[in-house]
Structure 1
Amino acid sequence: MTPAKLPHHTIEGAPAAPPLLLGSSVGTSTALWDAVAPELSTTHRVVRWDLPGHGKSPADLIGPGATVADLAALVLALADSLGIDRFAYAGVSLGGAVGLHLAAHHPERVESLAVICSSAHFGGSARWEERAALVRREGLADLARSAPDRWFTPGFTVPRLVDDHRGTDPDAYAACCDALAAYDIRESLAAITAPTLVIAGREDPATPPAHAREIADAVPGASLTELAGASHLAPAERPEAVVAALRTHLTGAAASGTAVRRAVLGDAHVDRAQGNTTPFTARFQDFISRYAWGEIWTDPTLAHRERSMITMTALVAHGHYDELAMHVRAARRNGLTPEEIGAVLLQTAVYCGVPAANSAFAVAQRVLAEE
């Protein structure tokens, strides 16, 4: 499916930051993330998208008989239009179901997954078929009036979200109900490889914690967080707790990268770099921990000793001799002998130039002598 039109979306955060896509529940809009997205945009390029006929999305993006796969195709088309290949994804309810489908059927696109107040199935088809018929027949007024009881704990509400429910296109809402009726991904959960966080609201009547536990038990390595004082729309009711859980989940790659960085460069160097981090440089430090060390150096295709040889060559080619000294020490940690380091630098004399290699030998000789 290649939609001619795309869902409405908003973008926050630096263009070069790692992308995070946020999907909302049926009956709500991107406003569901109003208290969460700005916080996450300090470290991510946050893309919120509206379901068809919700918020500002065109209603005719889907029709009767729609499936979660159709909605997932809309998300992929949106990501493609923004030049986003791999992304982190977090979604609530139907938005979470879309995330599960993406992670199960398009694993090459999903970097990490957070499933919030959602389910691997939504209680069978009958209730959703009945709701779809009701909405097509009578509109959304009655459902909007009862929305706070389904969405929030007693005494709490977000009028903006209730207004969004009331303003949703009935045909598109009914088509989303069709998607919920047909959805059951339980047999595919074990195939999900993306790091997965499942968040449940302890007082959620729509997708109770048992549904979240079912997902967490089936997805390999998934973690589960249950939020007290939260019902079905946890990002609106408990935004601070949702932000904290997502931050911990999304920085998992950075934590892994930091461990590799320490193994290659040594604790003293990493401690010094972290100790010198300022608010101005914090995002850069996070960037290199996640990408350079959390993705490239952890890729098992090449061994660390091979990566050391490539890195030294590149540093010589660009004249980065301060960095070269650090990576000569790293090469020794990664098992290269002085003779092998010398052979790498001799190779650079051929392809990077004799003056560059001469400077590189001087740096390496000093570092090796210090050992």
Structure 2
Amino acid sequence: MPEVRLHDGSTIEIEVTGTGPTLLLPVNPRPVEGPQADEMRKYGVDPALGQSLIKGLSDTFRVVAFNYEGQVLSAPKPETLTPANIVSDLLAVADSVGADRFAYYGYSWLALIGLQLATRTDRLSALIMGGFPPLDGPYKEMLRVTTATYEIACAPQAEPQQDDDEWSSVALSQDQTRQFVTLYEALQSFDDRAAQPQITCPRLCFVGSADEIHYGPKWAMCL
């Protein structure tokens, strides 16, 4: 697979499938297997979602798939995972396939980054956001959550409790968690309502009907 160099000097593999207008798709093109897949299914997550999206879209689009979330977890960027640097990474991916214009789809924090991308470049032909609101986004709340996650990662690890929440089994390092604090710190002054006139491409946003996260008792001191 071709590789693209990112802002911190690390590289990411990209997979290009289909023909037509270019769509940047920051998903894992390979299905997750084994115990991790079983854990994902417990919370309603499809371990083969990336592959399903690629198959479903590549008959109409030239899909450029790249596992950006997996890359930042395997090569953490604790001090440099800022909106500007992530946008530069996405543009580097687009440049690598010769896409002057392209659509972008992202879910959760990758949808948030799509909004940043739309305000920082005029190259977007369409923006699709899932699982994160384009208006009145929870930037302050997410800073609290990511800061709490970082503090938990820095603390001595205790044995999981029976009543722990879905995040208890996710063992992330200090650098992995710190990079998301860096991201949300940089977004505290972002006004998503004021940014809307800057977005001139077609756009679509969708969310779940019951998109809620329940935190276990160990989070009580952090949130």
Report the TM range for the smaller structure's normalisation.
0.5 to 0.7
Residue 206 of structure 2, aligned match among 199, 202, 208: 199
Q: Secondary structure at the match of 1:46?
A: strand
Structure (1/2) with the larger helix percentage: 1
Residue 133 of structure 1, aligned match among 151, 164, 177: 151
Cα gap change, 1:115/1:133 in structure 2, threshold over 3 Å: closer, same or farther?
same
Residue 63 of structure 2, aligned match among 46, 50, 66: 46
Cα gap change, 1:8/1:199 in structure 2, threshold over 3 Å: closer, same or farther?
same
1:74-114 per-residue CA deviation (whole Å, 9 max, x = no partner) reads: 111121122222110010011101110111111x2111000
1:111 aligns with 2:114: no
Q: Distance in 2 between matches of 1:100 and 1:205?
A: 22
1:118-150 per-residue CA deviation (whole Å, 9 max, x = no partner) reads: 1343340223222223234468x97xx74489x
Residue 109 of structure 2, aligned match among 94, 104, 107: 94
CA contact (8 A) 1:13 1:46 kept: yes
User: TM-score under structure 1 normalisation?
Assistant: 0.42
Q: Which amino acid aligns with 1:109?
A: R
Q: Which residue of 2 aligns with 1:77?
A: 92
Q: Which residue of 1 aligns with 2:75?
A: 59
CA contact (8 A) 1:7 1:58 kept: no
CA contact (8 A) 2:106 2:129 kept: yes
Gaps of 5+ in 2: 1-5, 29-39, 214-223
1:13 aligns with 2:41: no
Higher-Rg structure is: 1
1:204-232 per-residue CA deviation (whole Å, 9 max, x = no partner) reads: 025xxxxxxxxxxxxxxxxxxxxxxxxxx
Structure (1/2) with the larger strand percentage: 2
CA contact (8 A) 2:103 2:126 kept: yes
Q: Which residue of 1 aligns with 2:32?
A: none
Q: Which amino acid aligns with 2:150?
A: A
Gaps of 5+ in 1: 150-161, 207-371
Q: Which residue of 2 aligns with 1:246?
A: none
For these two proteins, the number of residue pairs brought into alignment is 182
Question: How far off its partner does 1:200 sit?
Answer: 1.0
Cα gap change, 1:122/1:31 in structure 2, threshold over 3 Å: closer, same or farther?
farther
Q: Secondary structure at the match of 2:182?
A: helix
Question: 1:291-310 alignment to 2 at 5 Å?
Answer: none
User: TM-score under structure 2 normalisation?
Assistant: 0.66
Q: Secondary structure at the match of 1:35?
A: helix
Q: Secondary structure at the match of 1:115?
A: strand
